[in-house]
């Protein structure tokens, strides 16, 4: 079943891990940095996908169909892009970014601070 990136808008924050292949050292190191942080990611409504020129993968490195990514696959960028719930780019960094940095960055966003208060 195909999904669109826009399906996540206002529901999830989305991390896009972009590289030439799903099995690069950079992707492996980035995914390793996410291990043991699934509860923190879930609390922040955070999901991630691995984007390569040939395919898109979910967090288990299983190929999926996800449309609406053309704007993020340009300029030979390799790294991580964090999309806020509004769909806008909030963070764009080269690999590897620690889970703590990502969580702290999300926690500093106004929408997240509002979620914490609720």
Tens of pLDDT along 100-113? 999 999 999 877 88
65 belongs to a structural domain: yes
Comparing 113 with 58, the larger pLDDT belongs to 58
Higher-pLDDT residue of 2, 15? 15
Cα–Cα distance measured from residue 89 to residue 106, given in angstroms and rounded to the nearest whole number = 12
Q: What integer pLDDT is reported at residue 72 of this predicted model?
A: 81
Look at the chain and report how many structural domains it folds into. 1
In a domain, 28, yes or no: yes
pLDDT at 1 over 70: no
Q: What is the residue range of 61's domain? A: 11-117
Nearest Cα neighbor of 104 from 85, 82, 88 is 82
SS3 88: coil
Helical residues (DSSP H) of 2-93, grouped into ranges: 25-34, 38-43
Sign, CA torsion 30/12/58/56: negative
């Amino acid at each position: 079943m195909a999904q669109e990136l826009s399906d996540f808008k206002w529901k999830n924050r989305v991390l896009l891990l972009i590289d030439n292949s799903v099995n690069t050292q950079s992707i492996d190191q980035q995914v390793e940095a996410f291990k043991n942080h699934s509860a923190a990611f879930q609390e922040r409504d955070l999901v991630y996908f691995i984007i390569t020129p040939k395919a898109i993968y979910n967090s288990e490195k299983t190929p999926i169909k996800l449309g609406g990514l053309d704007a993020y696959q340009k300029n030979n960028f390799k790294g991580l892009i964090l999309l806020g719930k509004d769909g806008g780019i909030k963070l764009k960094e080269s690999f590897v970014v620690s889970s703590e940095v990502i969580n702290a960055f999300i926690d500093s966003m106004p929408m997240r601070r509002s979620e914490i208060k609720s």
